[in-house]
Structure 1
Amino acid sequence: MWSNPRGDFKLTLILFFGALTAGGVLPFAIYRFATGQTFVGLVDLAIVAGVGLGALRAWKTGKSEGTALMIAVIYSIGCMLVSRMAGLSGVLWIYPVLLANFLLVRRRHAAVLSIVVIAFVAAFDVALPNIPQKAMFAVTAVEVSLFAYVFAWRAETQRTQLEAVAARDPLTGAHNRRNMADELKAAMAASERDAAPVGLLIFDLDHFKSINDSFGHEAGDRVLVEVSELVRRCTRKQDRFFRMGGEEFGLLLPGAEPAALRRIAEKLRTTVEQEVRRGDRRVTMSLGAASYCAGESADSWQRRADLAMYRAKRDGRNRTVFDDCCEHTAGLAGDATPAPAFGTATRSSQDG
């Protein structure tokens, strides 16, 4: 299975540096062999092979973090050896390597590698035979490292901010549908690993269109914000709250046993009914609840919660339907056929 570099910036960098190393270092390796510098040529080939195989491994497995560190170490060791054997021409490779390391690995790791490389090169007289040359190299190399450090820090900060914005709904602050897919998969993996329960609620505000029609879209937006604030107030820090679109939301509850999932669903439903109003009209919602069943796919799990919520709508709204029939998920890991939403329903005395 091959990873797609479009969704992984670090993987894209690794593949880029793999191609750049092959195109930039391989011709020099050939030149070394042609001019009798056999050992230096072998070092160049080792750098190309190590970086190339690392890039191939990252592309195949998607494990970019460890591969990036391995490539940075290969670059650093290779440059130190080449500068020791080839003299000044080898020292010139230090500067792009310093920049590459700060792009590839965490800043503290890149800083350590930079210190080691600069100290190693400055310690020998092959390329830098006198003190002024050593000092000039050390100062310029440190400046390049500092510029690379600041650039990497700023780029990481901006990337983190952009990812946070891209993962959030701007109106309610809830995570969006794209982020929900990743969170479901992570929760499933944790549940399988730790044999721990995890629950999913999907809920929809009842007759929301009539709120927009009667009070305007701005009032409808305020309702969505109020409901979102209530959900966050009633749930834990580790729970994950999503806006799936329009007036439909999802809530992922790690560690929630089926009984706890029912209690949380009812608490949310009654709290919204009691505290959110527009004019003299109470806002209500219909909820579908489903615990994760070992071995099922994320689509199957979400589909069961969806169908339970739609059943709550059909049965009169302002209620919770709980799908607790894991046997119906057998064999659904890759099946697109909806699972039947058998389960139990809990409702209030007043339908929405």
Structure 2
Amino acid sequence: MPNKLISPEQTEFQLKSTLWLFTAAGSLILPFALYDISQGKWQIGLGALIIAFALFLGSWCCYKKTYKPIYTFLLLSPFSTFFLLYLTNTVGISGTYWCYPTILLFYFVISERQAWISNIVLIVCILPLAWNLLEANEAARFTVTLILVSAYAAIFLRVITQLYDARCRQANTDPLTRLYNRASLQDSLTQAIHQADRTGTAFTLIGMDIDFFKQINDELGHDVGDNVLVQLGAFLKGYFRESDKVFRTGGEEFLILICNSNEAESAEIAEKMRKDIENLSIIPDRTVTVSIGVSGIGVEKDWQVWMKTCDQNLYKAKHNGRNRVVVGSV
């Protein structure tokens, strides 16, 4: 299975929000844990102290960018549910108050599906205990408010996620071709270099420029030129895998970041793509060709050098007669 690049903006947003949620929750729980221990309530205090420590550890992992939500789901969520059951059984109604922030926290620090599972388990476990310990009217209010808080949090999170994803797509997408634009190029290349260092995964850049595109605009009009860009964008999007990234970097310039493909393999892909584009019927009675430059990461392992090398190879392809592929790294 090919490695798939993760959106740098989305990862950064999730890590920062989770970091501050963990920090806030841990900071609020810690004083209660210390107070309970000082009052001789060792079981309650120790349980709260473990949860606070786990929250601070999660915060530290977010800071170091090593946080894995699955560990919170498998370890912290079950322990928190068990502790809330023990707390409610021990202190009564005041123990149920902690169910509300716990449910909210789950929705924001683990995946949506994991949060649903954790909260359903919590609600199913805590409600019978609440009805057994509390008066009927108090238990009914607790049931309704707990379910409403969980539902509101789920709806709110879904809306926020959809809006944020839409904003990221809009900020990083070319409006004409629906390909990636230059906004996320630096982050994508830097992430590819880091991944290559960590895992040995091969990455290659393919730079492509439409030959004589200005003549197409001048002779046939910008509407035809735009149609050429749209059709080529759709062709490139279908030509490459989901693990690859296709950018429109300029007027008639495209860039493809290929994952799990070395320079020689990518050169073969580029040559086949060049021939396939030449055989496309994009403009009636007119052949559209492209010049292509190919470059591996190289020894410099710097995104600017990598990009510059690819641009130089593309320039050589155009200078040497166009409709050809030039390959080489630093």
Alignment CA distance shift 1:5-1:213 (3 Å): closer
User: Quick check: 139-148 or 275-284, which moved more?
Assistant: 275-284
User: Quick check: 219-228 or 22-31, which moved more?
Assistant: 22-31
For residue 287 of structure 1, what is the amino acid of its counterpart? I
In the alignment, which residue of structure 2 is the partner of 1:155? Answer: 160
| Paired residues of 1:227 and 1:276 also in contact (CA < 8 A) | no
For residue 246 of structure 1, what is the amino acid of its counterpart? G
- Answer with 1 or 2: which has the greater Rg: 1
Aligned mate of 1:63, from 64, 67, 73: 67
Aligned pairs for 1:279-298 within 5 A: 282-291=287-296, 296-298=301-303
Q: Give the Cα–Cα distance (whole angstroms) in 1 for the partners of residues 286 and 257 of structure 2.
A: 29
Aligned length: 322
User: Quick check: 152-161 or 30-39, which moved more?
Assistant: 30-39
- Partner of 1:61: helix, strand, or coil? coil
1:55 deviates by 0.7
| Paired residues of 1:203 and 1:249 also in contact (CA < 8 A) | yes
Alignment CA distance shift 1:46-1:80 (3 Å): same
Alignment CA distance shift 1:104-1:260 (3 Å): closer
Aligned mate of 2:89, from 74, 78, 84: 84
For 1:168-197, what per-residue CA distance to the aligned partner results, in whole angstroms no more than 9, with x for missing partners?
A: 222112223344555556666777788776
In the alignment, which residue of structure 2 is the partner of 1:328? Answer: none
In the alignment, which residue of structure 1 is the partner of 2:104? Answer: 99
| Paired residues of 1:273 and 1:282 also in contact (CA < 8 A) | yes
| Paired residues of 1:29 and 1:41 also in contact (CA < 8 A) | yes
Matched, 1:303 2:286: no
In the alignment, which residue of structure 2 is the partner of 1:172? Answer: 177
| Paired residues of 2:231 and 2:282 also in contact (CA < 8 A) | no
Matched, 1:10 2:14: yes
Aligned mate of 2:44, from 30, 33, 40: 40
For residue 21 of structure 1, what is the amino acid of its counterpart? A
| Paired residues of 2:27 and 2:52 also in contact (CA < 8 A) | no
Alignment CA distance shift 1:84-1:299 (3 Å): farther
Matched, 1:204 2:216: no
1:86 deviates by 2.6
| Paired residues of 2:23 and 2:55 also in contact (CA < 8 A) | no
| Paired residues of 2:18 and 2:108 also in contact (CA < 8 A) | no
Aligned pairs for 1:207-226 within 5 A: 207-226=212-231
Q: Give the Cα–Cα distance (whole angstroms) in 1 for the partners of residues 213 and 134 of structure 2.
A: 79
Q: Give the Cα–Cα distance (whole angstroms) in 1 for the partners of residues 200 and 15 of structure 2.
A: 32
- Partner of 2:177: helix, strand, or coil? coil
Aligned pairs for 1:20-31 within 5 A: 20-31=24-35
